[in-house]
Structure 1
Amino acid sequence: MRFSTLLSASLLFAATVTGAPIVETLEELEERASVDFFKPTDKGGSLLDQSAGLGEPLNVIISGKSSPEVLTKDGFNNYARAVGYSIECFGQHRGDPQKANLGDGHGYSNEIEVLREHFSIPVLGTCLESLKGGNHLRMWQQNGPDANSGALFLAVSQEEDIIEHHDIVPDGYNIGRDRFVDGALGTKVFLWKKYTTTVVERRDLIVAAAEGVNHGISQDGVVKVLTVTVKNVWE
């Protein structure tokens, strides 16, 4: 059997067992890993999700050039725990899922995950966030037939406490994005995995404005693109 055939088969098996989307050939895998993301607006998508008739900015992107295991739901959740976020309090979520169109051929699709700041408190930390407010995020993946980068698009914001119905704080989209990114940069460790994160700012993806934005809160038009590399801690 040719080496390239063996390599393709190995990559297919690895994608299957880690939960990553399966690709059919080595060439497709290399093509997918060659781009950070595809610009959603090029194919009818938007950098605003749909929320109560308006939208929240998709202000952080996890690049398709990141380590493949980060670009799966479980892998992203582990990464998020390393940088300070986890699943909602006892897995409970209130409210309808928000939708986003990433221009990948799937149209408007439901969020894949909602995570909250855990304040370095195992299990109960996100319950504290639900009570007193803090950062939270929603996640979608660009993996459709028209734009299969594998990149993860996040809507990150800082919200009020439960008494204020978790409304977004003034300037909460910019604040939430920057707090998430600042907490992610550099090297973090979780469950014997070491995550190294770098950032590039993009100012050409969304217009700086409050128009069309949920709660009428202005955002500065900056989208931060993170590239995450994963290694075992003993490497």
Structure 2
Amino acid sequence: MSFSLKATVLVLFATLTTTIATPVTESAIVSRAFDDKDFINPTLNGGSFLDASAGLGEPLNVIISGKSSPSVLDLAGDGFLKFANAIGFDRECLGLHIGGAQQANLGDGRGWVNETEVLRQSFGILGSIGTCLESLEGGNHFRVWQQAGTNAIFLAVSKEEDAEDHHDIVPDGYDIGRDLLVSSAAGRKVFFDITKFKLITYNTVVQNLTGLIPAGSEGINHGIAIDGQIIMLTVTQS
């Protein structure tokens, strides 16, 4: 295949997988108390909103509510991955993961369990091409755990430096990473599923949760302070 033909195929593929987004409006952000169908507070049963990393922890700063569409909460299949694709993330470069798995205790009776997967910013290109760019140049990424019982998905989101800087978290990287992901997800997204040749629509309602994790840097990996906010996303697929 010639270079020009390869380039054309890549551009076409990226175009077909582009997400159509609507601006975030006031109606996309609501204030309401969460309940046990959204998720169960891990700290009520010996869990934590920090994962375990190098003797410290990274904040579980985004939660996909258990009230989201079952397809979105599907980690065994590709339902959650398609939602992640729609907001600009994909599996790691060439399926390779460097470093040990981090653990989290979601207070669901299972104790400390390994992350299910790590997804990285894909820069609008599905597959390992986009996430390989993230591995080289740095960007946003998140670790995934699912709470037994509620099926809520807990994410540890952060923005990291490039490979030359050993993928360290950027200054204020936990809050920045969280906010970038939420901005990408909020409101209405229309995603072209190239595997089934159809459009999927995601409507995401954003809720800011406070008082669940303290602000500051105590116990936080890399000593990076956080603002103490956790964002809950309720995602409806149609």
Q: Partner of 2:118: helix, strand, or coil?
A: strand
Residue identity in the other structure for 1:200? Q
List runs of 5+ in structure 2 lacking aligned partners.
1-34, 194-198
Residue identity in the other structure for 1:202? L
| Structure with greater proportional helix content | 1
CA distance in 1 between partners of 2:121 and 2:155 (Å): 14
- Does residue 43 of the first structure (1) align with residue 50 of the second (2)? no
- Does residue 78 of the first structure (1) align with residue 85 of the second (2)? no
Measure how far apart 1:34 and its partner are: 6.5
1:1-235 equivalences in 2 (<5 Å): 35-73=37-75, 74-123=78-127, 124-143=129-148, 148-190=149-191, 191=193, 192-231=199-238
Query: TM-score normalized by structure 2?
Result: 0.80
CA distance in 2 between partners of 1:154 and 1:46 (Å): 13
Identity in percent = 60
Residue identity in the other structure for 2:201? K
CA distance in 2 between partners of 1:228 and 1:99 (Å): 25
Q: Is the 8 A contact 2:65 2:232 kept in 1?
A: yes
CA distance in 1 between partners of 2:36 and 2:188 (Å): 23
Measure how far apart 1:189 and its partner are: 2.3
**Aligned-pair RMSD on alpha carbons?**
1.1
CA distance in 2 between partners of 1:136 and 1:99 (Å): 16
Q: Is the 8 A contact 2:206 2:231 kept in 1?
A: yes
Measure how far apart 1:187 and its partner are: 1.3
Residue identity in the other structure for 1:211? E
Q: Which runs of 4+ in 1 moved over 2 A?
A: none
CA distance in 1 between partners of 2:218 and 2:46 (Å): 19
Partner of 1:9: none
Equivalent pairs, count: 195
Query: TM-score normalized by structure 1?
Result: 0.81
